[in-house]
Amino acid sequence: MTVDIDEGVHARPVAELVRLAQAHGMPVLLSTDAGATADLTSVLAVMDLAIASGDEVTLEVADSPEAPALLDALASVLTRR
């Protein structure tokens, strides 16, 4: 998906992504096109990716009945203006 947050993925959206991942209790990986990967349960790991608006990212979630809803919620955070 393409990140569509004017300021990029800064502290507030990172906190929301981490909160969602932790609330669902499933491992979630966020990867950039540059090949960097972070576990979405770690604020610092996600912040270190320095994702800007327009960057392409991939979300990976374990196969689960809750996975589609979690992916939708995470995607809405990354595409909010």
Q: Which residues of the chain have pLDDT under 70?
A: 81
Residue 3, in any domain of the structure: no
Residue 1, in any domain of the structure: no
Residue 2, in any domain of the structure: no
Look at residue 80 in the predicted model and tell me its pLDDT.
79
Residue 30's alpha-carbon distances to 8, 57, 66, in angstroms, are 15, 7, 17
Look at residue 62 in the predicted model and tell me its pLDDT.
87
Look at residue 7 in the predicted model and tell me its pLDDT.
86
Look at residue 81 in the predicted model and tell me its pLDDT.
57
Give the CATH number, domain containing residue 17.
3.30.1340.10
Residue 18, in any domain of the structure: yes
Residue 50, in any domain of the structure: yes
Would the pTM count as exceeding 0.75?
Answer: yes
What's the number of domains the chain is made of? 1
Look at residue 26 in the predicted model and tell me its pLDDT.
84
- Buried/exposed code over 15-25 (b: 16+ C-beta within 10 A; e: otherwise): ebbbebbeebe
